[in-house]
């Protein structure tokens, strides 16, 4: 039977199996904390069984809402940042036709806003939406985050100007806390359709909640399959029949304790670029605290072999890699033979492009191992909703175990408040008068 395969033999020149296995007792304790709630941040363990707790009726309801948005709109703008953005973006990019934006017949497009404060970005989006039928999915767990709030204020005003307040309201869906936050009050006042983000599911662990499911379904993808994959991985991880998440957590912590401070998530498929972004947030926000944590980076190969490849092969030896290998492609493209052979490529004529890509991957992996870059590999059978669901759960479970192995609370993010405090002080937000005075004195 096909399965997600985790292989860590490529690290053994750097850390021994004995050193990895020595972490097994700690990993068991860390793993138990995820299910018995005895660890730090236990209020945020709702993701552990989210896939199986999500009733099919909710999935059906989300699919109905998505279908209606797709019927009514040419463009659906998903507004959110961090965990309220990256999961949906990662899955949609992984499944989409690479040139979807240029294929109108492929159906409504999901675009993103509120993930930055780029004035030109927002202006250009407003211009694009001027002559489009559009709808909005606004996502914020706290309901108070500045970036999505600005984008929503702008696009809500634009939609209301186009359709009138009542009709606009039918094309807006809000996903937020059940009771708290400005977005909840606004949605209640305006009578929007809403979905709830459970209190015990943190933003970066929320892709399998309505936060990720609605935009993914609105982009036309099968969220039943996605949830199905996550359920299968959840079951196998929790009943112990699949120990790969634990092994990954142990291996990366053994490497970290041996001085490898940076992990690079490597893909050989351009559709996985945003999966790397999602993974960076998941691990960066979960582990980087108390002046500890593996720094998560990501590269897209073979593109980045022509930029970061030099550093990885030959730079400071403080890195290790985790390579996501996609076993099967959706399409076949064969390199043609050419009689003149002016480009000298006839030696690979008749081969599929993916065969060449796989040799680039294997050649790089071996060169990196030889160059002192320990290397883990995760083989995914194919880029489908089902396997993405498995991959998401795998990385979430490993992240929880790994954070506890590191000795931090993987489920809070106190560090992100520092910039907000300064920004609010600089913008003279009511309630921040003392901070405004203090920061002005520094300038």
Using CB under 6 A as the binding rule, the residues of this chain from 338 to 397 that contact ligand PA5 are none
Sign of CA dihedral 59, 64, 70, 72: negative
Binding marks (x or -) toward ligand PA5, 137..176, rule CB under 6 A? ---xxx--x--x----------------------------
237/413 with CB nearer ligand PA5: 413
Comparing CB distances to ligand PA5, the nearer of 89 and 260 is 89
Does position 215 interact with ligand PA5 (CB under 6 A)? The reply is: no
256 contacts 273 by C-beta, under 8 angstroms: no
Rounded to a whole number of angstroms, the minimum distance from the CB of residue 242 to ligand PA5 is 25
The nearest distance, CB 325 to ligand PA5, in angstroms, is 28
Check binding of 210 to ligand PA5 (CB under 6 A): no
Least Å distance between CB 440 and ligand PA5? 26
The answer to whether the CB of 413 falls within 8 A of the CB of 142 is: no
Closest CA to 262 of 287, 291, 295, 308: 295
What is the per-residue DSSP string for 292-308?
A: B-PEEEEEETTGGGGTT
State yes or no: residue 203 binds ligand PA5 (CB under 6 A): yes
Bridge-based pairing state of the strands 5-7 and 375-382: antiparallel
Q: Which stretch binds ligand PA5 (CB under 6 A): 68-76, 78-86, 156-164, 433-441?
A: 78-86
What does the alpha-carbon distance between residue 332 and residue 300 come to, in Å, rounded to a whole number?
A: 21
- Would residue 339 show up in a list of annotated catalytic residues for this protein? no
Residues numbered 407 to 426 that lie near ligand PA5 (CB under 6 A) are 413
How far, CA to CA in Å, does 62 sit from each of 82, 114, 138, 193, 212? 21, 22, 14, 11, 11
Which residue in the set 10, 46, 83, 212 belongs to the binding site for ligand PA5 (CB under 6 A)? 83
Task: Kindly write out the interface string for residues 31-70 of this chain, putting x where it contacts ligand PA5 by CB under 6 A and - elsewhere.
Answer: ----------------------------------------
Active-site residue, selected from the candidate residues 147, 247, 277, 285: 285
Please confirm whether the linkage preceding 15 is cis (ω < 30° from 0). no
Beta strands in 24-168 (DSSP E): 75-79, 109-113, 134-140
- Taking the C-alpha atoms of residue 320 and residue 15, their distance in angstroms, rounded to an integer, is 11
Active site residue 361: no
Report the DSSP beta bridge partners of residue 296. Answer: 263
Catalytic annotation present for 368: no
Using the contact rule CB under 6 A, the part of the chain among 82-90, 156-164, 228-236, 364-372 near ligand PA5 is 82-90
When binding is defined by CB under 6 A, the residue of 45, 51, 62, 81 that contacts ligand PA5 is: 81
Which residue of the set 130, 306, 331, 434 is catalytic? 306
Q: Is 396 helix (H, G, I), strand (E, B) or coil?
A: helix
**Closer CB to ligand PA5, residue 414 or residue 431?**
414
CA distances from 375 to 92, 121, 288 (A): 27, 38, 21
Please choose, out of 202-210, 340-348, 352-360, 386-394, the segment that lies near ligand PA5 by the rule CB under 6 A: 202-210
What DSSP line would sit under 192-245, residue for residue? -EEEE--TTS-GGG-TTSHHHHHHHHHTT--HHHHHHHHHHHHHHHHTTS--HH
- Contact pick of 46, 82, 210, 229 for ligand PA5 (by CB under 6 A): 82
Residue closest to 152 by CA, chosen among 179, 133, 134:
134
Contact footprint for ligand PA5 (CB under 6 A): 81-84, 140-142, 145, 148, 202-204, 285, 413
Active site residues: 285, 306, 420
């Amino acid at each position: 039977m096909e399965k997600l395969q985790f292989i860590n033999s490529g690290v053994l020149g750097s850390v021994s199996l004995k050193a990895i296995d020595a972490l097994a007792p700690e990993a068991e304790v860390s793993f138990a904390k995820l299910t018995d709630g005895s660890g730090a941040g236990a209020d945020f363990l709702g993701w552990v069984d989210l896939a199986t707790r999500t009733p099919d009726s909710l999935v059906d309801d989300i699919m109905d809402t998505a279908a209606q948005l797709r019927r009514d709109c040419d463009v659906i703008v998903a507004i959110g940042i961090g965990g309220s953005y990256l999961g949906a973006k990662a899955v949609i990019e992984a499944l989409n036709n690479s040139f979807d934006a240029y294929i109108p017949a492929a159906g409504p497009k999901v675009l993103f806003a509120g993930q930055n404060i780029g004035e030109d970005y927002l202006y250009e989006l407003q211009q694009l939406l001027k002559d489009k039928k559009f709808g909005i999915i606004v996502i914020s767990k706290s309901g108070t985050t500045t970036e999505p709030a600005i984008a929503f204020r702008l696009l809500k005003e634009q939609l209301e100007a186009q359709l009138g307040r009542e009709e606009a309201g039918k094309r807006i869906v809000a996903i937020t806390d059940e009771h708290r936050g400005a977005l909840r009050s606004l949605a209640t006042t305006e009578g929007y359709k809403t979905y709830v983000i459970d209190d015990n599911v943190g933003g970066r662990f929320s892709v399998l909640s309505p936060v990720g499911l609605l935009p993914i379904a609105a982009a036309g993808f099968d969220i039943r399959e996605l949830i199905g994959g996550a359920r299968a991985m959840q079951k196998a991880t929790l009943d112990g029949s699949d120990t790969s998440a634990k092994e990954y957590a142990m291996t990366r912590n053994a490497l970290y304790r041996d001085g490898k401070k940076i992990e690079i998530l490597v893909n050989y498929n351009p559709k996985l670029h945003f999966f790397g972004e999602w993974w960076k947030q998941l691990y960066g926000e979960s582990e980087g605290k108390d002046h500890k944590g593996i720094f998560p980076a990501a590269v897209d190969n073979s593109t980045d072999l022509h930029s970061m490849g030099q550093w990885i092969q030959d730079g400071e030896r403080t890195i290790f890699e985790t390579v996501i290998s996609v076993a099967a492609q959706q399409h076949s493209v064969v390199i043609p033979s050419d009689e003149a052979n002016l480009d000298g490529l006839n030696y690979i004529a008749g081969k599929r492009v993916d065969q060449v890509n796989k040799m680039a991957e294997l050649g790089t992996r071996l060169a990196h191992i030889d160059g002192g870059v320990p290397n883990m590999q995760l083989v995914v059978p194919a880029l489908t909703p089902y396997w993405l669901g498995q991959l998401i759960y795998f990385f979430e479970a490993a992240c929880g175990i790994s954070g506890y192995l590191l000795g931090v609370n993987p489920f809070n993010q106190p560090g992100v408040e520092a910039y907000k405090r300064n920004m609010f002080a600089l913008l003279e937000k009511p309630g921040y008068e003392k901070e405004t005075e203090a920061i002005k004195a520094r300038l």
